[in-house]
Amino acid sequence: MNRTMIAMLAASTALVAPAAQAQTDEISALRAQIEALQSQVDMLSNRLGEMEAEATTTQVEVAANTAEIAATAAAIPAAPVDDGVTISFSGAPEIEAPGGWSFKPFGRLMMDAGTVNLPDSLGRSEGFGSEMRRARIGMEGDIPGGFGYKFEVDFADGSAELTDALLTYKDDGVTLTVGQHNTFQGLEELTSSRWSSFIERAAFTDAFGFERRMGVSAQYSGGDVLLQAGIFTDNLGDLSNKNWSIDGRAVYSPKLGDTRLHLGGSVHLTELESGSTVRYRQRPLVHFTSERLINTGNIAAESEFGVGLEAAVINGPFHAVGEAFWQSVDMPVGPSPDFFGSYVEVGYFFTEGDSRGYKGGKFDRTRPANPVGEGGIGAIQAIVRYDHLDLTDGPFIGGSQDGYFASLVWVPTDYTRFMLNYGRLEYDNAIFALPGGSTSYGADVVGFRGQVDF
């Protein structure tokens, strides 16, 4: 029995051994395949890592390139859209657009102060005074078709007063103007207050009522010749009435080498509404005093007739100018009185390269050769003037005023200006008498102005 079992076990073992060996071989082959697959997986994983690294590097390079391109693009200015509009600056911005449009604001601010010293025994108001002389703002420009416009308002006395309000048309040296504007009274009156020699203009310009008026005028400018004429009613503040006038002026202003010569004359005829009166009077040099020591009182008048002559010369830093004006009043009854005013002045710039400006038949802006802020001190000018006004004729004793004036002008920049004035005035037949009855005496006036315009 034991032998039989042993034989059977041996036979079984013989049969099982080959099967086990076969299974072992299969496991080994499978393991080899798994190891081969694992190797491939590891290789693919490594390759995938390399590809991800390469992609990251590419993204960084792309981002860097993109940033560089963006920075380069930002550094290149964008091409402007050319709509034809240009903006320049000369004291204030001026806008010009295609088709003939333009627009420019402008303005001026003038602040005055000083003293008026009269004889104490006269008992009139004197001493220190000050005022905002002018505070104006306006606009001007062009309109397609050769037209232009100007509009200006003065706020100096706390209320709005219209100064210029006009429409123009220009063509080939001819300018037509309609609206409120100056009436061609003469060189002194037509020169802007922004560059006048003294704080106030010559006495006759104020005494004889020179002012802007509503009207229509024509001007021709060709070469050295300027012709101006117009028909006017009255100042806007005095309308409506039946007053009207005809005014004309002619100027010849040749350039002789370095010298500018100015010769001119004007004629004025004013027809007044029935029952009108006129009155001629004047302050002593400055406007901030209410005292008027010469005064004709009211004169019944049907018309006024005026004639003016003017002459000037500019040569480098030197200038000289003089004017005379005769004013006649036509009365309804009785003799027609004649009154007279004139002045003569000389001026000189002490700063090198500076000269008095001139343009269009009148004095113009002085532009310092070496302004403050650009290494210079601006322009410094001294001026002396004799100013005469006679308001006495026949039965009309309005008095006479002789002024001996000096002006020191400092122009730091193109658009700033300071003036210091002194005036000695001598009166005869003044309307206010001293205690002893004398109407002949003198007055001393000092005035200062600071101004800016644009």
Q: What is the 3 state secondary structure string of 168-234?
A: EEEECCEEEEEEEECCCCCHHHHCCHHHCCCCCCCHHHHHCCCCCEEEEEEEEEECCEEEEEEEECC
For 349, half-sphere exposure in the C-beta direction (CA atoms, 13 angstrom radius) is 23
Report if residue 17 sits inside a domain. Answer: no
**Per-residue pLDDT tens digits for 137-195:** 999 999 999 999 999 999 998 999 999 999 999 999 999 999 999 999 999 999 999 99
What percent helix, strand, coil does the chain show, rounded to 5? Answer: 20, 50, 30
**Per-residue pLDDT tens digits for 301-333:** 999 999 999 999 999 999 999 999 999 999 999
Instruction: Indicate if the pLDDT at residue 9 is higher than 90.
Output: no
Report if residue 9 sits inside a domain. Answer: no
Q: Give the total number of structural domains in the chain.
A: 1
Reported confidence tier of residue 3, pLDDT bands at 50, 70, 90: low
Report if residue 307 sits inside a domain. Answer: yes
Report if residue 217 sits inside a domain. Answer: yes
**Per-residue pLDDT tens digits for 29-71:** 667 777 776 676 577 667 656 766 665 565 656 456 666 766 6
Question: CATH number, domain at 178?
Answer: 2.40.160.10
Euclidean distance between CA atoms 366 and 368, whole angstroms: 6
| Paired residues of 309 in beta bridges | 265, 324
Report if residue 260 sits inside a domain. Answer: yes
pLDDT of 54:
64
Report if residue 59 sits inside a domain. Answer: no
- The pair of structure tokens assigned to 411 is 């122009």
pLDDT of 83:
75
Mean pLDDT, residues 101-115: 97
Instruction: Indicate if the pLDDT at residue 431 is higher than 50.
Output: yes
Instruction: Indicate if the pLDDT at residue 18 is higher than 60.
Output: no
Contact at 8 Å (CB) between 340 and 326? yes
pLDDT of 311:
98
Per-chain mean pLDDT for the chain: 90
Mean pLDDT, residues 436-440: 97
Question: Could you tell me the residue range of the domain that residue 381 belongs to?
Answer: 89-453
The residue with greater pLDDT, 77 or 110, is 110
The residue with greater pLDDT, 189 or 8, is 189
pLDDT of 6:
47
Euclidean distance between CA atoms 348 and 321, whole angstroms: 12
pLDDT of 28:
72
Euclidean distance between CA atoms 50 and 67, whole angstroms: 26
% pLDDT > 70, the chain: 84
Instruction: Indicate if the pLDDT at residue 127 is higher than 60.
Output: yes
**Per-residue pLDDT tens digits for 352-366:** 999 999 999 999 999
Euclidean distance between CA atoms 280 and 268, whole angstroms: 16
Contact at 8 Å (CB) between 178 and 216? yes
Mean pLDDT, residues 263-268: 98
pLDDT of 263:
98
Contact at 8 Å (CB) between 129 and 109? no
Mean pLDDT, residues 86-91: 90
The residue with greater pLDDT, 64 or 390, is 390
Report if residue 54 sits inside a domain. Answer: no
pLDDT of 448:
98
